[in-house]
Amino acid sequence: MIKFERPSPKLLALSFVFLSSSFAFAFTLERSLSTFNFSKEALFSTIPVLLLLFLTTALLITVALLSEKKFSALTVLAAAFLFVLPFTSLSIFWRVLVALVAFLGLFGLSLQAQGTHEAYTGFSASYFKGVMRNFFLLFIFILGIILYSSTSQALFRPAGGGFEIPEETLEPVVAKVVEAVGGVVRQQAGGRVPERELAPYVEEQLAQFLAQMGFAMKLKGQPKSLGEVTTRLTKSLKADLDEVVAPFMVYIPFLIAGIVVVAFFTLSPFVALFGEIALFLVYRFLILVRVLKFEEVERKVKRLALT
C-alpha cells in the first residue's frame, strides 16, 4: 500500500488545475490535428495548443516542486491517462503506449525539476530551462507516435495481408476531374447535353487517358450519370493503385511523423524561452493570490576544510 503525507488543499487544487490543463492541452491538440491543413486559419489554430503547452509545463514544475515523489507520481499518472482520452480514433494499443510514454516522461521531468530545485540555493524560472526543453522533446516524441498511428489508420487498411487505399481518399479527386471534364464537353457542345449521353463519353475519355498512363481500366457496361462515372473510375483506379503504389505508401506515416518531429525539434530553444516566461508568470500569480510564498531554509553543504 502506498503511503504518503496527506497533501494540503492548496496542493490538491494546484494538482487539479494541472490535470485540467493537461486534458485541455490534449483535447485542443486532437482537434487541431484532426482539422489541420496549411491554411492561415489552421495555422492560427495551433496557437492555443502552444499556449496550453507552456501552461501545462509551468504547472507540472510547480506541482513537482511542492509535492513528494509518490504524490507526484500519482499526479502525472492521472495526467497521462487524461491525455489520451480525447484521441478516440487511436486503437487501444496506441493509446496505452502513448499513456505509458507520457507517464514515464512526466515522472522523469518531475524528478528533474525537483533535482534542479535542490541544486540551487535561490529560485528563478531560468533554472528550469532544461526541464522545459525536455518537456517539449517529450511532446514531440508523443506527437510523432500519434501522427504515425493516426496516419497509418487513416491511409491504410489491412486487406488480404497487404494494404488497401480507402475509396474516400480517391473519390473526391476523381469527382472533381469528372465534373471538370463534363463541363468542358458541355461547353464544346455549345449547349446542355443529356447526362445519359454525356456520362459514357466522359468515362471513355478519362479511361483512355488513364490507360495511356499505365492503368488497366477494367470497365464493363455504360454509366448513366456522372456520379456513376466517378464511382466506376474510383473503383478501377483504386484496384491499380493498391497493387502499384501501396507497397511504397506504407512508408508515408514514417515520413510524415519524421518531418513533423524534425520541424518541431528546431523550435526547442524558443519553446524553452517562452516556457521560462510562462513559469515566471504562473508562480508570480500564485504568490500574488497567496497560494505560494518564498521561504528561507537552512541546509548542509559540502565545503573543503583543513583536517
Using one digit for the tens of pLDDT, what is the confidence trace for 59-117? Answer: 999 999 988 888 999 999 999 999 999 998 888 999 999 999 999 999 999 999 999 98
State whether 30 and 121 are in the same domain.
yes
State whether 87 and 144 are in the same domain.
yes
State whether 106 and 21 are in the same domain.
yes
Q: Would you say how long the chain is, in residues?
A: 307
Which of 110, 102, 104 is CA-nearest to residue 128? 110
The rounded distance, in Å, linking the Cα atoms of 154 and 293 is: 50
Q: Looking at the 3D structure of the chain, how many domains does it have?
A: 2
Q: Do the domain assignments include residue 190?
A: yes
The rounded distance, in Å, linking the Cα atoms of 76 and 299 is: 28
The rounded distance, in Å, linking the Cα atoms of 130 and 111 is: 12
The rounded distance, in Å, linking the Cα atoms of 239 and 35 is: 28
Which of 9, 79, 62 is CA-nearest to residue 275? 62
State whether 243 and 255 are in the same domain.
no
The rounded distance, in Å, linking the Cα atoms of 181 and 175 is: 10
Determine the pLDDT at residue 142.
92
List the pLDDT tens digit at each of the 307 positions of the chain. 445 567 788 899 999 999 999 999 999 988 888 776 555 666 677 788 889 999 999 999 999 998 888 899 999 999 999 999 999 888 899 999 999 999 999 999 999 999 998 888 788 888 998 899 899 999 999 988 988 888 777 665 544 444 566 677 778 888 888 778 777 777 776 667 677 777 777 777 777 777 777 666 666 667 767 777 778 777 777 777 777 766 776 677 788 788 878 877 887 778 888 888 999 999 999 999 988 888 877 777 677 777 7
Cell 518537456 locates to 135
Domain that holds residue 261: 9-156+251-288
State whether 28 and 120 are in the same domain.
yes
Q: Do the domain assignments include residue 54?
A: yes
State whether 50 and 134 are in the same domain.
yes
State whether 175 and 56 are in the same domain.
no
Can you say how many angstroms the Cα of residue 166 is from the centroid of all Cα atoms in its chain?
Answer: 22
Find out whether 253 and 118 touch, Cβ atoms under 8 Å: no
